[in-house]
Structure 1
Amino acid sequence: MARRTIEVDDEVFAFLQQHCEPLVDTPNDVLRRLLLGGGSEEPEEKTAPTSRRVLRRPGALLPLINAGLLAPGDVLWHKQPRRGMVHEATVTPRGWLKLADGRSFSTPSRALAEQTGTTINGWIYVHMPSGKQLHVLRRQVGQS
C-alpha cells in the first residue's frame, strides 16, 4: 500500500489526539476509523501485500487469557448508578473487548470510554464469572 504525507493544522491534530488510543493508534488509524468506519475493529487476520496471513496485534487482555484468568466469551460489565446504565463487553480470543454494537477495542479504557462517553479507566470493568475487577486480575499476572 502506498503511503502519502499530509499536513494538518494544530486544531485538526488536537481532534485526532482526542480520538486516538495513546501509544497504539497512528493518525492514519484514527482517520480510517472516523472516516471509513475501520481501524477499531478486530480482524482476526489480515492479508499482507505478500499474500501472507498476518495476525493483528493482541489486545490488552491477552495476558489474562493466557494466565487462565479470563476466557474468550467472558462478559465484563460496568455499572453507572447515577445514570442508571450498565455497560457490557465480551472478551475475544485475541484479548480485545467486543461491544454489543459489534465494535471491538484493544484496551478496556478505550472500550469503556466509548460506552460512557467520557475518559475512564476501563480496568474497573467487572469480570462477571469471577466478580473481580480487571485491575485486580491484572495484578495477579504481574502487570501494572
Structure 2
Amino acid sequence: MATLSIHFDPAVIARLTSASGDDTIHVTLSLGGGSDGATASPVIPHGPLAALMQAGLLKPDTVLTFHQRRANRSGRAVVTADGQLIVDGHPSPFPSPSKAAEAVTGNVINGWTLWHAPDGSTLDQLRQKLDTQ
C-alpha cells in the first residue's frame, strides 16, 4: 500500500494552531520533491493580477482588505501564487479582484479600487505604478 507523507513548514503549523473557528485556512499541496529528486515546477501567475506579481508589486500570500463604512462591510482575501484571490468564507479562489469583491458585497463592483494592499494602496494604484515603470 502506498504511503502519503505531508510535511508542513513550521509557519503553517503556527498559523493553523492560532486560527479561530471563524478563520478559513487554505493549504496548497504540491507534488514532487520526494526522494527521487523530482522538484515541483514553479507556479506562474496568470490572469488580471499576473502583471503586478511579475513586476514584484504584489506577492503570493499578500493579504488584501477593504472596509465599507456606510454598508458596514469588510472583506479579506489572500493572493495565491497563480494570481487568484482566496476570499475568507469562500471555498474556491476567484480569478479577478472584481469577482472576489462581488462575492463579499453581493454587488457588481470594481475590485481594483476596493481592495487594499497592506501598505494602503489599492490594486488600481499598484496597476498605475506598473504603467509608469
Same fold (TM over 0.5): yes
Question: Are 2:46 and 2:82, in contact at CA under 8 Å, matched by a contact in 1?
Answer: yes
- SS of residue paired to 1:106: coil
TM-score (norm 2): 0.61
Q: What's the RMSD between the two structures over aligned residues? A: 2.6
How many angstroms apart in 2 are the aligned matches of 1:57 and 1:68? 12
Task: Please say if 1:116 is aligned against 2:124.
Answer: no
Return closer, same or farther for 1:81/1:73 CA change in 2, 3 Å cut-off. same
Query: Structure 2: 5+ residue runs without aligned partners?
Result: 1-27, 31-42
Task: Please say if 1:95 is aligned against 2:115.
Answer: no
**Aligned structure 1 segments of 4 or more residues deviating by more than 2 angstroms:** none
Match of 1:133 among 109, 122, 125: 122
User: How far 1:103 sits from its partner (Å)?
Assistant: 2.0
How many angstroms apart in 1 are the aligned matches of 2:91 and 2:80? 12
TM-score (norm 1): 0.57
Task: Please say if 1:142 is aligned against 2:103.
Answer: no
Return closer, same or farther for 1:57/1:71 CA change in 2, 3 Å cut-off. closer
Match of 2:47 in 1: 59
How many angstroms apart in 2 are the aligned matches of 1:56 and 1:138? 19
Return closer, same or farther for 1:120/1:137 CA change in 2, 3 Å cut-off. same
Sequence identity of aligned pairs in percent? 34
